[in-house]
Amino acid sequence: MSARSRTLLWITLLFTSALTAWIYWPGVHGGFLLDDYGNIVQNAALHIHNLHPNTLLAAAFSSHSGPLDRPISMLSFALDEYFWGPAPYSMKATNIVIHALNGLLVFAVASLILKAYRRRFRPELDAGLLAWTALAIAAAWMLLPINLTAVLYIVQRMTSLSATFALIAIGLYLSGRLRMLEGRPGLWRILLGFLVFAPLSVLSKEDGALIPVYTLILEWTLFGFARVDGRRDRRLYLLYLLVLILPGIAGLAWMWPGIQATFEHSGRLFTMHERLLTEPRVVLLYIAWSLLPNLGALSLYHDDFPFSTGLLSPPTTLLSILGIVALVALALWQRRQRPLLSLGILWFLGGQLLTATIFNLELVFEQRNYLPDFGLLMALFSMTLLEAPVQRLALPRRILIVGLIALYGAITALRVHEWANPIRFAVLSAAAHPHSPRATYGLGRTYASLVDNAQSPMLPLATAALEKAAAVPHASILPASALLIMHAKLKLPLKTQWWQDIEHTLARRPATAQDINGLTAMVNCAMGGCSFPTGRMIRVFQAAFEQSPNSANLITIYSNYALNVLHDYSLARQLMKTAVKLAPNLSQYWINLARLDIYLGDFAAAEQDIAHLQRLNRLNHLDDALKNLRARLAEARKIRAGAAKQHERMPAKKAELKAHE
């Protein structure tokens, strides 16, 4: 490849990356959505005012959205807010930069894959053709419409940032293996990827655990576990034993007892069996949405997706399972004849192992394809551009690829236009998904945010939208709770139907995360002056406890209500003690209990609470909280001691007064 061609290649790559950022940029004007609120907006620990290590650690471990708390992603949100403010604008801008950077990393990984392919299978291929193929894959990936939710849905920086470190680790593996096959030291690069960048990926989001799966697929399809002399490299077998097989077995054994239980107590409408039946349909839809995107089908909201209850319910269930089997069979069959096709299929399916199998996750989310869909593009573009003879119909094939990339960019631009305006996004989403509890509630919430007084013309629209959302099958309590909160703040009558909707929803299934958010908002409103009838609020919590008696989160919300609204300190303390017993590793529960014990003057109990909290402070991220509690305790003891001394002096003063008389 000539120097001029190489320069043109890099200019085109950088232009494509900049074009991607330009297409996405209008999306920075969109708002917060769904899990953005719990993880970012309402997360007090994330709103930092200094860069002290303890403050940063507290922010990093402030989310419980994953088993490892995803501290790197959470820290990035905190730094975003510290430097640029709490608005969604800067956070979305950061996400766009990360995505553009990932596009460059995709180009690097694709180039290394094609280099390995040429070395083992097609040495006659021109290096320039491979470089431009890698560029086409990267350009298509950057502009792929299905990847939008990993960019403009702020909290899904967890996905894109995890992919950043994953791509670096995979690139190091590829370069290390190529060096080893050239007789040069390369194992250190592989170990650097697994020991440094893979953990960083996992600590951004658990998707990073699939890095060994991706590299194993690369090894099996491209390298064949070979050494420079052609024999098998036994070190690689040991490596995968240590980084994939043993950790996989240990992790599954550790999590398995709780996996089934999560289906029983999470309020899901489907069982594990039904989820396993449904996911093949979802995975095949992902393929269609990735390669042949339909603007009407792509959405943030897929909570209205019908799950399978049997092999023929619906009939596409069995057909989809057979389709997945056929894809695996095709990949195995074509391993030697078309290894890039095999690689692409297995890469995509391997990327679904965490989100499309036994784990109790929601059925459909587009951002789950952010890294897996690279495999689809590798398979498609390699078949289109590199299959022999490469010169036959070369120009039409290249025009087809350029046209496809342009189509991806155009559809992505249209999606960005939808996301750029919160009202337009809410209206279009609810219209496209009228049976989605989240989409319909999102519209009502958007309208409600525009209501500032009882005469607002938006009030009837907000009320109607929220009532419609509450009537959607399987809706959470969010719409009804929003109706109560909005009308209570405006001093307007509260309909009995809204209370009944909440009670009936909570009584028929365990409380979901959305229900918890609704109850939290209601308690906060009551603490802020909303006149909710005490009897109604208590019945709401009773209904919730019937289905979720051991929910530490629910118990904590009720303790907050008992403490700050009912002023029943005994009940509040009893509830807080129950919460720490159910979830002893959640630091905030111990902080709540310690504060109450200090307030009630039970200093011995407060010392025990602080001691428990200290044991959770393994990374010193609770130092500030501990310091604050100890200062409160010392001040409370000082006040009590002063009151005791004053009481002791009272008899002497009375005697002195009597003598003067």
pLDDT higher than 70, residue 651: no
pLDDT at position 116 is 95
Q: What is the pLDDT of residues 208-248, one digit of tens each?
A: 999 999 999 999 999 999 998 889 999 999 999 999 999 99
pLDDT at position 38 is 86
Average pLDDT value over all residues in the chain: 91
- Provide the 3-class DSSP secondary structure of residue 232: strand
Q: Which residues of 528-544 are buried (b: 16+ CB within 10 A; e: fewer)?
A: eebebeeebbebbbebb
Q: How far apart are CA 136 and CA 125, in angstroms?
A: 17
310-319 average pLDDT score: 95
Nearest 5 degrees, angle CA 297-CA 301-CA 302? Answer: 70
Residue % of the chain over a pLDDT of 90: 76
Q: How far apart are CA 383 and CA 594, in angstroms?
A: 64
pLDDT at position 640 is 86
Q: Fill in the amino acid letter for 500.
A: Q
* Those residues with Cβ within 8 angstroms of residue 236's Cβ, 6 or more apart along the chain or in another chain: 219, 225
Tokens linked to 292: 């042949």
* Those residues with Cβ within 8 angstroms of residue 650's Cβ, 6 or more apart along the chain or in another chain: none
657 pLDDT band, cuts 50/70/90, is: very low
503 pLDDT band, cuts 50/70/90, is: very high
Q: How far apart are CA 655 and CA 439, in angstroms?
A: 75
656 pLDDT band, cuts 50/70/90, is: very low
Task: Give Cα separations from 10 to 15, 271, 385, 585 (angstroms).
Answer: 8, 50, 20, 50
What is the number of alpha carbons within 13 Å of residue 154 lying toward its C-beta?
Answer: 30
254-280 average pLDDT score: 82
> Is the CB of residue 143 less than 8 Å from the CB of residue 155?
no
Residue % of the chain over a pLDDT of 70: 97
Q: What is the pLDDT of residues 428-440, one digit of tens each?
A: 999 999 999 999 9
353-380 average pLDDT score: 94
Tokens linked to 38: 């719990």
| 66-73 own/partner pairs: CB under 8 Å, 24+ apart | 66/158, 66/205, 66/206, 67/206, 68/202, 68/203, 68/206, 70/158, 70/203, 70/204, 70/205, 70/206, 71/203, 72/161, 72/200, 72/203, 72/204, 73/157, 73/158, 73/161, 73/162, 73/204, 73/205
Read off the pTM: 0.90
Q: Where are the alpha helices (DSSP H) in 266-372?
A: 272-291, 316-333, 339-350
pLDDT at position 388 is 66
pLDDT at position 265 is 66
First to last CA, the chain: 112
pLDDT higher than 90, residue 424: yes
Q: Is the dihedral of CA 62, 67, 68, 73 positive or negative?
A: negative
pLDDT higher than 70, residue 266: no
8-19 average pLDDT score: 95
pLDDT higher than 50, residue 70: yes
Q: How far apart are CA 396 and CA 460, in angstroms?
A: 56
Q: Fill in the amino acid letter for 516.
A: I
The residue ranges of every structural domain in the chain are 7-418, 588-661
